[in-house]
Amino acid sequence: MLQEGEFPMTARSKLKQALSEGKPGSECLVKGWVRSVRTGKGVCFIQLNDGSSLAGLQVVAEPDLVNFAEVCGLGTGAAIAVTGLLQESPAAGQALELRAAQVEVVGGADESYPMQKKRHSFEFLRTIAHLRLRSNTFGAVFRVRSSLAQEVHRFFAERGFLYVHTPIITANDCEGAGELFRVTTLDLAKPPLLNGAVDFSQDFFSRATGLTVSGQLEGELFAQAFSDIYTFGPTFRAENSNTARHAAEFWMIEPEMAFADLNDDADLAESFFKRLCSHALNNCAEDIQFFNTQIDKGLIERIEAVASASFARMEYGEAIERLKKAPVSFQFPVEWGLDLQSEHERYLTEQVVGGPVFILNYPKEIKAFYMRQNDDGKTVAAMDLLVPKVGEIIGGSQREERLDRLTARMQETGVDPESLSWYLDSRRWGTTPHAGFGLGFERLIMYLTGMENIRDVIPFPRTPRHAEF
RNA sequence: UCCCCAAUAGCUCAGUCGGUAGAGCGGGUGACUGUUAAUCACCAUGUCCCUGGUUCGAGUCCGGGUUGGGGAGCCA
């Protein structure tokens, strides 16, 4: 029995380690947050969690503790440090438990703590995004998110891809991929004017700047020097999008390969996506199992199917024919030249193919200026990866590497070649066929967890009207 | 931005025909030698989203607004 104030020299164990490697009879020091307290007349049980795993550790406190009354009165949310001996649990529910020899209340929590030991709605938890992290679901979400981010880097590192940090502040609006957030140090109350318009030549960068909507253009330049590269960073879109799949700030993964065509691009996307599915199943098993039971009953089955599938590849033209023959009525029209709607994408991947499918070579009119023009004069070498339940999850293309074709296309689509002269330089000297794609990281996490709202897979979501926390 | 739906206790919700508000959970107190989101007993808790209107009387009906959710578009 330890005296009050005396702590053993034991090093702190994370609960994940204590639960998997701890031996009955061994001394243990753990620190974490109280999830629930159950008190009896002569015994008190504390469910403790420190974020290292979904499972917590049951701490058993008995009246021989000097501060037994204080321990019995602990509230949900309190931070404590516990020393004691691990022992086999006599009751069902856990193999090991910690018989407390000393409990230090590090940070108390009174009854006003908003998280209760009951189920809360995700809507309510979003209003306490700073505390929801201590719940089972969000603990699992952010462990999976962290593990997948590390696996993304591992995947590309193994293949010799260079990781490049492209700029966050940019002066070009890329492909016109979205509305730009303005970055300025001008006095918004009285900005300098020139002929009635704001004079950005007096701004910090001597030009109008904003937050990046894509690192692709800079990524292409790096591919023309390092062959295979990828970016993985924050991306910003000032669109007034109010959906479960859009955020104003999100993280995007964008690989780019020189000396590569559309098939190479699809090959990379396929092995990349399958690898991430396998990783989630094999390395986040406890959390994925939780999602499968609590959030989305078919989750594991769906991920396993994708991880072992051979992805189908279908021409855009064939997709249109299949949709026209479909024995269902769509809300939106199906016609060669029109873009595929969500309902069409879902039908193709769920009903026609029954698994992941690449749609290849879209009409040039509905795609960006930088995509490579095919010999038919009508289509460009674009690809979208569609997966069941979600629809489009990856979008990519082979890039137009021929200077004359590229500048012609820019002029047709109203992009000033002069403003992207540095980009065009990559086509002037040593140009190569090259290709790449973009994967929205949050959408990947949604896919792998079954969570249905992007606001619930990003720590502190930024959406229209929301930038608190 | 467009369409639809919703807003009542800390949370999740019920509230009939318009007649001055309820349950479960959570919280507090007590009981209980081992619980598993413990159990049992008792106790407390309301800007019925805001605003204008109809009415003797509005949580309830009508108009306007705010916020949230679902769907669509934009896309990742």
User: pLDDT tens for residues A217-231?
Assistant: 999 999 999 999 999
**pLDDT higher than 60, residue A1:** no
What one-character DSSP code corresponds to residue A353? I
What single-letter amino acid sits at A226?
F
Q: Say yes or no: Cβ of A392 under 7 A from any atom of strand B.
A: yes
Distance in Å from B33's C1' to A17's CA comes to 30
Give the mean pLDDT of A332-338: 90
Residue A263: helix, strand or coil by DSSP?
helix
Q: Using one digit for the tens of pLDDT, what is the confidence trace for A34-59?
A: 999 999 888 999 999 999 999 999 99
What confidence score (pLDDT) does residue A67 get? Answer: 92
Name A residues 324-383 whose Cβ lies under 7 Å from strand B: 332, 339, 341-343
The structure tokens listed for A71 are: 């321990």
List helix spans (H) across A261-315.
262-283, 285-294, 299-308
B12 C1' to A113 CA distance, Å:
17
* Strand B reaches within 7 A of the A322 CB: no
ipTM tops the 0.90 cut: yes
Contacts of A49 (CB under 8 A, 6+ apart): A15, A32, A33, A35, A56, A57, A134, A139
pLDDT digits (tens, 9 = 90+) for A373-424: 999 999 999 999 998 887 889 999 999 999 999 999 999 988 889 889 999 9
Which of residues 72-91 of A have CB within 7 Å of strand B?
73, 75-76, 89-91
Region A325-352: what's the mean pLDDT? Answer: 89
For residues A29 and A328, which has the higher predicted lDDT (pLDDT)? Answer: A29
What's the CA–C1' distance between A137 and B46, in Å? 31
Bases of chain B within 7 A of a CB of the protein? 1-2, 10-13, 25-29, 31-38, 67-76
pLDDT exceeds 50 at position A444 = yes
Query: A185: pLDDT confidence band, cut at 50, 70 and 90?
Result: very high
Rounded to an integer, the average pLDDT of A61-71 is 92
Cβ-contact A182, A208 below 8 angstroms = yes
- Cβ contact A227 with chain B strand, < 7 A: no
Query: What is the nearest nucleotide to A117, using C1' and CA?
Result: B37
Give the CA angle between residues A370, A374, A377 to the nearest 5°.
105
pLDDT of the residue at A193:
94
Q: In chain A, pLDDT over 90 holds for what percent of residues?
A: 83
Distance CA A110 to C1' B35 in A: 22
pLDDT-derived band at A175, boundaries 50, 70, 90: very low
CA atoms of A185 and A209, how far apart (whole Å): 10
- Output the pLDDT for position A381: 97
> What is the structure's pLDDT at A9?
63
Q: pLDDT tens digits, residue range A348-368?
A: 998 899 889 999 999 999 999
User: How confident is the prediction for chain A on average, in pLDDT?
Assistant: 92
Query: Which residues in 395-424 of chain A line strand B, with CB less than 7 A from it?
Result: 395
Is the CB of A215 within 7 Å of strand B?
Answer: no
pLDDT digits (tens, 9 = 90+) for A102-136: 999 999 998 889 998 888 999 999 999 999 999 99
DSSP, residue by residue, A101-138: EEEEEEE---TT-S--SS---HHHHHHTTTTGGGSHHH
Query: What is the sign of the dihedral through the CA atoms of A341, A346, A352 and A358?
Result: positive
Among all strands, which nt has the closest C1' to A90 (CA)?
Answer: B34
pLDDT of residue A390: 79
In chain A, residues 124 through 163 whose Cβ sits under 7 angstroms from any atom of nucleic acid strand B? 124, 126
DSSP state of A310: P
